[in-house]
Amino acid sequence: MKELKNIYLKQKEIINYIIVGVLTTIVSLIIYYGLVLTILNPENALELQIANIISWIISVIFAYITNRKFVFESKSKNIKSEFLSFVGSRILTLLFDMGIMFVGVSLLSFSDKKMKLISQVIVIVSNYVLSKLFVFKKKKNESAI
C-alpha cells in the first residue's frame, strides 16, 4: 500500500489528469448522447455539430474547475485570464473534435458513437499538453510557494 502511495505522489498530476479527463469525457458523452438520442439527429450534419458544441461547453466548464483545483492546483489570482487561456486551448481542440466528427461521420459514414470515442482520446491528450504548456504553466515564483 505504501508503494502505491509513493507512485501516486510521484505521478500525482498525471494520475489526477487521467481521472479528471475520464470524468470530463463521461460528462461530455452523457450530454452528447443524451442530445442525439432525444432531441437532435446525428444524421443531420448541423444537428450533429450542435450536440457536439453543447457537450463541449458543459464539459469545458467542468474541466476548468476540476483541472484548476485537482490537477494543476493553480494558485493564480488572475482567474479570468487563466480561464480565457483554458477556453482558448479548448477551442483549438474543439476544432479537432469537430473536424474528426465531420470527416468520420459526415464524409466517411462511420458511426457517430464510435467516432466520438476516438475523437475524445485525441482531444484528451491534446488538452493535457496545452494545459501543461500554456494554461497552468507555473511561474518561477509560484513553484517555490
Contacts of 112 (CB under 8 A, 6+ apart): 36, 42, 48, 101, 104, 105
Q: What is the pTM of this model?
A: 0.75
At residue 137, φ and ψ (nearest 5 deg) are -60, 120
Question: How far is 44 from 142, CA to CA, in rounded Å?
Answer: 48
Contact by Cβ (8 Å): 63, 24: yes
Question: How far is 76 from 129, CA to CA, in rounded Å?
Answer: 19
pLDDT tens track, the chain, 145 positions = 889 999 999 999 999 999 998 899 899 999 999 999 999 998 998 999 899 889 989 999 999 999 999 999 999 999 999 999 999 999 999 899 889 999 999 999 999 989 989 998 898 889 889 999 999 987 665 554 4
Task: Determine whether 48 is exposed, middle or buried from the number of CB atoms within 10 Å of its CB (0-12, 13-18, 19+).
Answer: buried
Question: H/E/C letters for each residue in 30-69?
Answer: HHHHHHHHHCCCCCCHHHHHHHHHHHHHHHHHHHHHHHHH
